[in-house]
Amino acid sequence: MSTQLRRWEPFRELETMRDAMDRVFEDAFFRPMRRWQGVEGMMSVDMDMLETDKDVVLKLSLPGVKPEEVDISVTGDTLSIRGEHKEEKESKEENYLLKERRYGSFSRTVQLPVPVKSDKAEASFENGVLTLTLPKQEEAKPKQIKVKARGAIEEPKKS
């Protein structure tokens, strides 16, 4: 049996450790509901936010949630959405083979990119998607400014 000497490369071991730490943080922060399934507490809410010339529009995925179970508030430049997705009553006769639907309280707080008129906000709920339309305040709307030339020299006319 022959033994070979192998050169020790500490950076290779650090790379392996870094990969392991990346997986730990990815599981903990980017896929928390899969990892903590069944744990009571706050759930995260998926959201899209877009900005138009006149409004800030948010769309939130809230499948199975009733509109009356959602509380929306705007304080300054902070928007808060809270609610609860209540679990259906289980009967003792049911034998679940898989249970992945999430239940419990949810909360999402975001900083708005511009000042909005919260008293003019509109909310609609369709097919499990909550759409919030928040009109921008006047100073937040883009304004077109035309540039005027001063003292421009006219080109001589050609005859």
- Mean per-residue pLDDT for 127-153? 83
Cβ atoms of 83 and 70 closer than 8 Å: yes
Quote the pLDDT of residue 94: 74
Tell which wins on pLDDT, 154 or 126.
126
Q: 122-126 and 47-51 as β-strands: parallel, antiparallel, unpaired? A: unpaired
- pTM higher than the cut 0.95: no
- Best-predicted range by mean pLDDT (16-25, 48-57, 84-93): 48-57
Tell which wins on pLDDT, 61 or 93.
61
**Confidence check: pLDDT of 122 > 80:** yes
* pLDDT tens digits along 2-35: 667 777 777 666 667 777 777 777 666 654 444 3
Distance CA 94, CA 87 (A): 15
* pLDDT tens digits along 92-101: 667 778 877 7
Residues shown for the chain: 159
- Mean per-residue pLDDT for 55-63? 93
Domain ranges (residues) in the chain = 10-39, 41-88+100-139
Quote the pLDDT of residue 146: 83
Q: Does domain 41-88+100-139 have CATH number 2.60.40.790?
A: yes
- Residue 140 in tokens: 């937040």
- Residue 27: CA atoms inside 13 Å, Cβ hemisphere, count? 9
In 3D space, the residue among 88, 107, 128, 87 whose CA is nearest the CA of residue 43 turns out to be 107
